[in-house]
Amino acid sequence: MRYWYLIILILIIGSKAKAQETNPAFADSIPTVIDSSYREDQFYFGLTFNFITDRPQFMDQNGFSAGLSGGFIRDIPFNKNRNVGIGVGLGLAFDSFGQNLFIGENENGETIFRNLSQDNIDYDSNRFSTFLVEAPIQFRWRTSTFSSYKFWRIYAGLKLGYIYHFRSVFRQNANVVKQSDVPELERFRLGTSFTFGYSTFNFQIYYSLNPFFDNAAVDGETFGVSTLRVGLMFYIL
């Protein structure tokens, strides 16, 4: 009989100990400090597929065209919940475009634009690449809270950019033509951007608002072309 008393005593002591674990009165007396002035300052890294738009009829895109970008954005909330605001950042970007527009220069140093498809020229690859400094400016809305790092977001705005290096490379058997000095190139870039997603992984799209070239022509046909970038954006707090 005394064994039953011992078992009952153990159960009573165990139930009281469990009650102490779950009872808020026995919780850690140190309060949790919530930063009500938090910001979503973020490092970002983007991967994109690149497309040439508003191109002349003769121009075709071929090969793999892609881009990389990365930088830092400062968050400036507007409201008390700090889930609406703007973001201002600075970063670097690299973009590459495979296409059939040859870019070179003549003996006078003037730029030559040539339609490779029309002239039936056999070549291995032809692409131009840009290296940019970018400054994103975003209107930001998100479902974040003071303590949550996983939330939905919608960021929309503009990207200001400057092409500090341009390179066009034409490869044909043992012949390689590289061109970096192109006066017709619009080095200052302006475009719209939109980002939508959850937590670290987000969909992004960018469309340039100003033409890529100014006063460029092939056989008397002027063209400017624009660029479209679609891909993923990763935000790291």
Helix (H) or strand (E) holding 2: helix 2-22
Q: For residue 185, give every residue at least 6 positions away whose Cβ sits within 8 Å of its Cβ, in sequence order, or none.
A: 163, 166, 212, 213, 214
Which pLDDT score, from 0 to 100, does residue 11 have? Answer: 43
Summarised one tens digit per residue, pLDDT across range 65-111 is 999 999 999 999 998 888 899 999 999 999 999 999 999 999 888 99
Domains defined along the chain, listed by start: 37-236 (2.40.160)
Q: What is the DSSP string of 184-222?
A: TB--EEEEEEEEEEETTEEEEEEEESS-SBSSEEETTEE
Per-residue model confidence (pLDDT) at position 35: 57
Mind listing the pLDDT tens digit for each residue in 172-226?
A: 888 999 999 999 999 999 999 999 999 888 999 999 999 999 989 998 888 999 9
Q: Please state which of the ranges 121-125, 157-161, 200-204 shows the lowest mean pLDDT.
A: 121-125
Average pLDDT, the chain: 85
pTM: 0.80
Report which listed range, 9-23, 104-118, 147-161, 177-191, is most confident.
177-191
Query: pLDDT at position 33, please?
Result: 52
135 pLDDT exceeds 90? yes
